[in-house]
Structure formats: structure tokens, C-alpha cells
Amino acid sequence: MAAMEGPFSFTPIGIVHSPFRALEDIPKERNADPRGFDDVEGTIAIDPAWAPALQDIDGFSHLIVLFVFHRSAGPRLYGHPPLETEPRGIFSTRSPHRPNPLGLTIVRLLGRRDNRLSVAGLDMLDGTPVLDIKPYTERDRKDGIRAGWMQKS
């Protein structure tokens, strides 16, 4: 294996405003349903210094949001996904308990006003730091995706 370099540091570019104030506010059923968060709306407030970088974002229907699991209790090797009884390797889950507390989600862009993005599909806690935003494009869509243990037969 090639040598890894680090450490790395990141500075948040914004913050999530979500209806979920605490982990307990998120019904476990939402995590078990592939469309469980589609109706959850909120905003992503971008630091005003980065607001010019939002130019042209209005033309995209969906965005990829990279964020920090800022309330994670630290890394684990295994996790128990919601409504599952069998433990799973952490890399086969979307658990926040990762070696690096990085999260990724796709949200639907409802609109933009200055440095605030109105979005739907939020599965993040209120106050979540956002590290980056990228447009979700055709090249991100892949055919033949398998869902591993999550795929119900």
C-alpha cells in the first residue's frame, strides 16, 4: 500500500438548518426507507465569503453535499443499521461512526436566495457543518447499482 499523507484540515463553508435538532428526532423508519428523507426541507446557509461561488447553481436540480458528522461519538468497526438486527461493517453502512467523520448526501435544490439554499431531502442534524457542495449530474448516475445487504429480495 502506498504511503498515506496527512493530516488534513478542512474549514466549513456553511451550515445546515434542519428540523432535526437531535439524533432522537430522526425516526428510525426514515433511515430504513430509500425515500425516507425526500420530504424533509431545510436550508444550507453558505458563509457570505463563499456566496459568489454559488453562481450558476440555480440550474441544477440536485446537489451533492459533503459534510461533517459533528456529533459522532467516534469510529467503530461495526454498526447496527436502523431496524436491522445483524451488525454490519461500518464501510457497508451510512453510519456517522467512521474513521473520518465525513458524510455525503444528495439533496434536491428548491431555490436560492443570496447565500441560502433551500433544499429537500435533508438527512442531517441542525447545525451540521458543510465542507463542500457539488452539482449532481448525469455522470453521477450509474446503471446496475447493487445495494448489497440493503437490497430486499
User: pLDDT digits over 125-153, tens only?
Assistant: 999 999 999 999 877 776 656 666 666 65
Percentage with pLDDT > 70 across the chain: 86
User: Is 90 exceeded by the pLDDT of residue 93?
Assistant: no
- In sequence order, what DSSP letters do the residues of 80-91 get, joined into one string? --TT--S-EEGG
Residue 148 has φ and ψ, to the nearest 5°, of 50, -135
- Kindly indicate the confidence band of residue 37, based on its pLDDT and cuts at 50, 70 and 90: confident
Q: Sketch the domain layout of the chain as residue ranges.
A: 14-138
Taking the chain, what is the end-to-end CA distance rounded to the nearest angstrom?
37
Architecture of domain 14-138: Beta Barrel (2.40)
